[in-house]
Amino acid sequence: MNRENIISSNLFEARGPFSHAVKVSGFSNLIFTSTVAAIDENWQVIGEGDIRKQTEATILNLKTALREAGASIKDIIKVNWYLTDINHFQTVLQVREQMFEGNRPASATIPISSLAIPELLLEADAIAVLN
């Protein structure tokens, strides 16, 4: 198995023991992202208090991490959503439907009490496969 940690220069700095994505080669390439959120390259929260804007920014950051690993949103086979307020679930689904380019990966939505940055309303991580 070959493994390549992807640290994107187009995302916020990876502060801690994680990569923006991990590319694993074998029979096919698997890409595992760390959780991404509505954070810009200066660690500023995008869309504070606005679940729609935070979901859009989170998906854009997820797309960036995948692109750095040679994948796209269409290559995602599994996505996990972590929501601080499960009442935001329908809005997240609406934004996801608009931005996932027709891809319908396996999915989990996990309600949580808080995130490391209190202004964040959600995070997401994904697994993608390249042929």
Q: What is the pLDDT of residues 20-37, one digit of tens each?
A: 887 877 767 899 999 999
Q: What are phi and psi of 86, to 5 degrees?
A: -65, -15
| pLDDT over 90, % of the chain | 68
pLDDT of amino acid 17: 64
Residue 60 CA: distances (Å) to CA of 9, 84, 123: 15, 20, 12
pLDDT in tens, 87-112: 999 999 999 999 998 888 988 999 99
Q: What is the CATH T-level fold of the domain 2-130, as seen in this structure?
A: 60s Ribosomal Protein L30; Chain: A; (3.30.1330)
Mean pLDDT to the nearest integer, 39-63: 97
Under 8 Å between Cβ of 68 and 75:
no
